[in-house]
Amino acid sequence: MDDRSFVAAQDFLLASKTYWTKRIYPELKKTYETAAGAAPAPPETPAEVAALLEGEVLYRYFSWLERHLQRFKYAGRYGLVPYHDERRAALSAELRDTDAELAPGLEMPNYYQRVDIHQHPGGVWSDELDGYVYERGARSTTPLMGAAHGDLHHRFTDLVAARGGAKDILDMGCGFGKSTHPFCTSFPTARVEAIDLSGPCVSLGAHDAQTKGSGNVRFRQMNAYETDYDDGSFDLVTSTMVIHELPPREIERMFTEAARVLAPGGRMAHLDFYTIDGPFARFIHYGHGRRNNEPFMQPLAEMDLHASLTEKGFTNIEVIPFKEAEGVGESGNDAWRFPWTVIMAEKMP
Residue closer to another protein, measured from CB, 181 or 285:
285
For the chain, the 3-state helix, strand and coil shares in percent, each to the nearest 5, are 50, 15, 35
Torsion sign (Cα): 190, 191, 197, 200: positive
Binding residue for another protein, selected from 44, 85, 99, 228, defined by CB under 8 A: 85
Is 11 or 226 the residue whose CB approaches another protein more closely?
A: 11
Work out whether 191 is an interface residue with another protein (CB under 8 A): no
Is residue 136 a contact point for another protein (CB under 8 A)? Answer: no
For the bound state, the minimum distance from the C-beta of residue 71 to another protein, rounded and expressed in Å, comes to 8
Report the residue from 19, 78, 111, 229 that binds another protein according to the rule CB under 8 A. 78
Task: Find the binder of another protein among 64, 158, 278, 327 (CB under 8 A).
Answer: 64
Rg of the Cα trace of the chain? Answer: 20
Interface with another protein includes 291 (CB under 8 A)? yes
Query: Cβ closer to another protein: 60 or 212?
Result: 60
Taking every pair of C-alpha atoms in the chain, what is the biggest distance, in angstroms? 65
- CA dist., res. 155 & res. 328, Å (int): 13
Select the span of 41-49, 56-64, 239-247, 323-331 touching another protein (CB under 8 A). Answer: 56-64
Give the other-Cβ count within 10 Å of 321's Cβ: 13
| Segment 14 to 43, residues that bind another protein, using CB under 8 A | 16
Question: For helices 46-53 and 25-38, what crossing angle results, to 10°?
Answer: 100
CB of 205 to another protein, least distance (A): 25
Where does this chain touch another protein (CB under 8 A) — which range of 1-9, 26-34, 43-51, 156-164?
1-9
> What is the per-residue binding string for another protein in 250-289, x denoting contact by CB under 8 A?
----------------------------------------
Amino acid at 339: P
Choosing from 24, 69, 133, 259, the residue that interacts with another protein (CB under 8 A) is 69
Sign of the dihedral through C-alpha 114, 115, 120, 125: negative
Is residue 60 a contact point for another protein (CB under 8 A)?
A: yes
* Cβ-based nearer residue to another protein, 136 or 163: 136
C-alpha span between 308 and 316 (Å, rounded): 13
Q: Is there binding between residue 295 and another protein (CB under 8 A)? A: no
Contact 203, 177 (CB under 8 A): no
Contacts by 308-313, CB closer than 8 A, 24 or more apart: 308/251, 308/252, 308/255, 309/255, 309/343, 309/345, 312/255, 312/256, 312/259, 313/259, 313/347, 313/348
DSSP 159-222: HHHHT---SEEEEET-TTTTTHHHHHHHSTTSEEEEEES-HHHHHHHHHHHHHHT-TTEEEEE-
Q: Which stretch binds another protein (CB under 8 A): 22-30, 63-71, 175-183, 239-247?
A: 63-71
State yes or no: residue 318 binds another protein (CB under 8 A): no
Of the ranges 62-70, 103-111, 190-198, 268-276, which one interacts with another protein (CB under 8 A)? 62-70
86 lines the binding site for another protein (CB under 8 A): yes
Residue span binding another protein (CB under 8 A) among the ranges 9-17, 93-101, 277-285, 331-339: 9-17
Tell me the angle at which helices 130-138 and 57-75 cross, rounded to the nearest 10 degrees. Answer: 140
For residue 133, state whether it binds another protein (rule: CB under 8 A).
Answer: no
**Scanning residues 110 to 129, which ones bind another protein (CB under 8 A)?**
121
Rounded least distance, CB 226 to another protein, Å: 30
CA 305, CA 22: separation in Å to the nearest integer? 31
Distance separating alpha carbons of residues 48 and 333, to the nearest angstrom: 25
- The residue type of 233 is S
Residues that bind another protein (CB under 8 A): 4-5, 8-9, 11-13, 16, 60-61, 63-64, 67-69, 72, 75-78, 81-82, 85-86, 121, 290-291
